[in-house]
A = this chain, B = another copy of it.
Amino acid sequence: MRPAPSQEEVRRQNLGALLRFVHQHGAVSRAELTARTGLNRSTIGALTADLAAAGLVTEQAPRQTRRAGRPSPLVTPLSGAVCGYAVSVEVDRVQAARVGLGGVVLDRREAPRPPGSPVSASTDPLATFLTEMHTAAVGGAGPRTIGCGVAVTSRLRAPDGSVSRGVQPTEVDEPLRAMVTAALPDNPQLLTGGAADLAAYAEHTRGAATGQQNVIYLCGDGGLTAGIIADGRRFAGRQGTAGEVGHMVVRPDGYRCRCGSQGCWETEAGERALLHAAGASEQHGHEAVRAVVRAASFGDPTARAALRRVAEWLGLGTGNLINIFNPELVIFGGSLRDIFLAAAAPLRSRLNQVTLPEQLSGVRLRTPALGDDAALLGAAELAFEQLLADPLGSAAAA
């Protein structure tokens, strides 16, 4: 049973709601904050003054307007006041970023990731990046570090996207956790998530899915995973490993899957399926997918047939998910973006056959607004979770 909050909790929640709003939407007038929250003007004034005193926002006189009366001050998030770190371990690269309030990327580094290398092989370059960025920041204004978010392609998958029996989410998380703890001296709060999950979160916070309540973000890098927004919230299941939609069996007499099962969706609709059908089994990654898409656009019959086939299977599985989740939005991320853009017609045709008409009406299919940065930006959002839940508590403690 969760009781209602105490007075201090109420204040904390209100501070958090205000800071979250400007973090997500940028500079906003006090008048708009009043309208958005339903809190009265003096409460908003007191709360924004508290946030300003903590160095999290500034309050500035707005530009002159033609409206009568005193203009409402603009509340602006201070991107340099506190910072979070974001780390993303992707199929073919690793990234690290230092991010300010408002989601502003202040610094970022990236390195290629050797195909099939274990997560532990990525910790050295990432540690170097974090140390470099932290040193550069402390040398300057010295903002407080309030957290570190980590995205990994999938917490149940080996580096090549395969699922091998016996992987535990902790085996993926632990080396990264140790690396971050060693690299960042302030011992910031550390949270991890799957790449698709965090990409969905980022698109929901500041991308193609803002304001949407039920969203499926499909990520086709390596395997085929989904990030799920259910009733406006991240949904990740019991162990944080929901969304392994690539292992939904859609063709029981189909290809053997690397997970030990047979006919998994990703054996038909994933990146590897496309490259296999296009006669490029030995390749992998975005560039290889784009090469097939380009070849298809130039009329190469093998590439065209491969693209069409994979798009149809992508449509079939997406239809399954629409029947199951009744979402308003499906986003095709990673390599699936290229497949969707190049072969929307066969994809939609198969999807229309499979999906119940009532579930289909009103569903939109989209590409990510944040491109390939969605997972990294989602990790950055994790870094800010604690601050946004308790702006003065976290800021004071740091």
Contacts and interface: CB of A to CB of B under 8 A. Distances in A.
A156 interface: yes
Interface residues of A, number: 72
Contacts of A353: 260-262
Contacts of A21: 1
B248 A251 contact: no
Interface string A341-377: 0000000000001111111001000000000000000
B242 A324 contact: yes
Contacts of A321: 324
Nearest to A244: B323
Contact of A323 (B167, B236, B239, B245): B245
Contacts of A261: 353-354
Interface in A155-173: 156, 163, 165-169
A66 interface: no
Interface in A59-111: none
B241 A359 contact: yes
A250 interface: yes
Contact of A354 (B38, B241, B249): B249
A357 B236 contact: no
Interface string A209-251: 0000110000000000010001101011111111111011111
Nearest to A43: B3
B250 A237 contact: no
Interface in A324-349: 324-328
Interface in A4-61: 4-6, 9-14, 17-18, 20-21, 36-39
Contact of A13 (B4, B36, B37, B250): B4
Copies in the complex: 2
A358 B241 contact: yes
A209 to B, nearest CB: 13
A182 interface: no
B248 A248 contact: yes
Given A249-B250, A252-B251, A326 B242 contact: yes
Contacts of A305: none
Nearest to A261: B354
Nearest to A213: B238
Contacts of A251: 251-252
Given A3-B17, A4-B14, A214 B238 contact: yes
Nearest to A237: B326
A36 B241 contact: no
Contact of A245 (B3, B169, B233, B324): B324
A202 B78 CA distance: 47
A320 interface: yes
B249 A156 contact: no
A291 interface: no
Given A163-B356, A242-B324, A260-B353, A37 B1 contact: yes
17 contacts: A1-B37, A2-B17, A3-B17, A10-B10, A156-B356, A163-B356, A166-B358, A168-B358, A214-B238, A237-B327, A238-B327, A238-B362, A241-B326, A248-B323, A249-B320, A261-B354, A262-B353
For the complex of A and B, the 8 pairs showing the least CB-CB separation, nearest first, are A237-B326, A4-B13, A242-B326, A3-B37, A4-B10, A248-B320, A4-B14, A244-B323
